[in-house]
Structure 1
Amino acid sequence: MDNTTHFGFKDVATQDKQGMVRSVFDSVANKYDLMNDVLSFGAHRLWKHYTIAMANVKTGDKVLDIAGGTGDLARAFAAKVGDTGQVVLSDINAAMLNEGRKNLINKGVTGVEFVQLSGEQIPFADNSFDCVSIAFGLRNVTDKDQCIREMYRVLKPGGCMLILEFSKTNIVPLEKFYDFYSFNVMPKLGKFIANDEESYQYLAESIRKHPDQETLKQMVLDAGFGLCEYHNLSGGIVALHKGIKIP
């Protein structure tokens, strides 16, 4: 791996990025859900609902949610897999994982396992899960290819991987509005609501550094997945990539 990588628009030492990302999410964890609702005008709930619908998860399945943060996907997956299934909510950030635990307890969700882990080094055996998901987390991973390979490894043959992430829109008026909103409004809202302008500036920049739809699709195929399709949401501002591990 190169000795440098990007942290937003800055070049930083590769070994430093993980700690820098951790500090961002330490800062925003307790306002994360509120900020998601405000910044996306509530649309993140629709994006996640669509992701769950595309997952083909059924009763008794085992699901791993990486960078699962405050637990939105884990809660929905838990309802689908039922008492005979298993959901693991994981995050590299302890503060975010604690928010997820509190949210699920407050909503009466039981049986979800919480594990602090890095998506680049998943501490589970090969062929362990029927579904592996990561929502709005891949762009913060230092080595995205390694993370996708790890997701492939722990999936059972026939299992599906879901990557929900901000992406690229080709609709020019929407792109112009999105750029203005991301760099002029989003950080100011971060300062006003979460008292943290800098973290939301990073989050806006990290979206622009993330691979576009076709590039990410190729990364998924290169990791070994026999099939990958993506679905643009909100005009391509967000995309859901679904990969299948062919038996």
Structure 2
Amino acid sequence: MSTSTHVLIPGAWMGAWIWRDTVTRLTGRGIAAMTLTLSGLSPAVGQPPSADASTVGLLQHVHDVIDHLDALDLHDVVLVGHSYSGLIAGMVADRLGRRVRHTVYIAAFLPRQGRCLLDDWGHDPQQRRAEMDQVRADGMRWAPPPAAALELEQDLSADDRRMLNAGFVDHPGRTVLEAATLDRPVTSTAATYVATAPAGQDPPANVPAEVRGDLPERWRLRTLTSGHWPMLSAPDAVADLIVHAHAAGTSR
């Protein structure tokens, strides 16, 4: 059994609430696990944001996680990032070196030196520019998906959709416009990438370039049959992947 502490970082528009069932599943198996809410995002459904979302930048979210680990004096950590928070997990792992044993990216963006999240958003440059312009027009806030978009996630239950719609808040826009900064490429740190794909889609369409073809050393690729929120639609499978993600890996 792993002796590492697993720290699950919420993605865009969400707080710690998105990971609470996963944390419960992990701790029920005797795995040390926790989550946190990043600055500018609601700590819980129905509560006000923890900071003005328009003022929070990418490095603030990186330091949110580092400060959390420092406060608890954690030195053997598995970081779990989902979607947006793949950037945060990767940048924290880069900065903390051997304190991070392994990083798990679930349907996640990967940090790339000099590139922001929206540089890799959407299907073409026009769509990316439009999304960037919209964030600026909305006062440096990134609006969550509308309810109609969640209807396209066929593996979500009606209760799942209601929870997401109720819990989503505007995401700090600066965090998706500011470029990632790394001392080393993200592929230099041990990791597992979990690609999600609807049933019948093989291979998944959302695998980043870094894990296509030959995998980087100490990286593994796993595929999960799920939509974009597998912690809701496939919670036991997500817990299994997190528990076993670094079992065959080595610390840095």
TM range (shorter): 0.3 to 0.5
Give the TM-score taking structure 2 as reference length. 0.40
Structure number with the bigger relative contact order (C-alpha 8 A, sep ≥ 6) is 2
From the two aligned structures, give the one with the greater strand fraction: 1
Please state which structure has a larger fraction of its residues in helix: 1
